[in-house]
Amino acid sequence: MVSMMSEDSIEPTLAPTALSPYPYGLRLNLTGDDLDRLGYGELPPAGTVLRLEAVGCVTRAASEDPDADGDIDYLCVEIQIIELGMEEEAASSGVDSDSDDGQPKDQAGRAMRMYARNQ
């Protein structure tokens, strides 16, 4: 798996108004009907790490060279998800798995820190 976090992103925080460190458009919104089709009878709590598998169809592919210098300055591929499956990941071991820079190494730890509910 590849992290999609922006290289120039802000530091993730738990504040509800914090901007996401991930680029716009990478967030999926699933309705109750969608969750029913995926086999979820109840909502997974915020911070739950899910494994997704999807099949998509490219609906748009574009490139632009607005300054006509021969370098493509903009690439975009739009993908319509046509099949989706998801399941919860195994729970983290609870061991602090931070790297030397203080960031969690595993995705479950990162998600829990970003989206954990204040209790």
Domain borders along the chain are 1-49+98-119, 52-88
pTM here is 0.55
Q: CA distances (Å), 16 to each of 43, 58, 72, in order? A: 19, 33, 37
Flag whether pLDDT at 1 surpasses 60.
Answer: yes
Residue-wise pLDDT for 50-83, tens only, equals 999 999 999 999 889 888 898 888 888 888 999 9
Q: 6's torsion region: left (phi>0), alpha (psi -120 to 50) or beta? A: beta
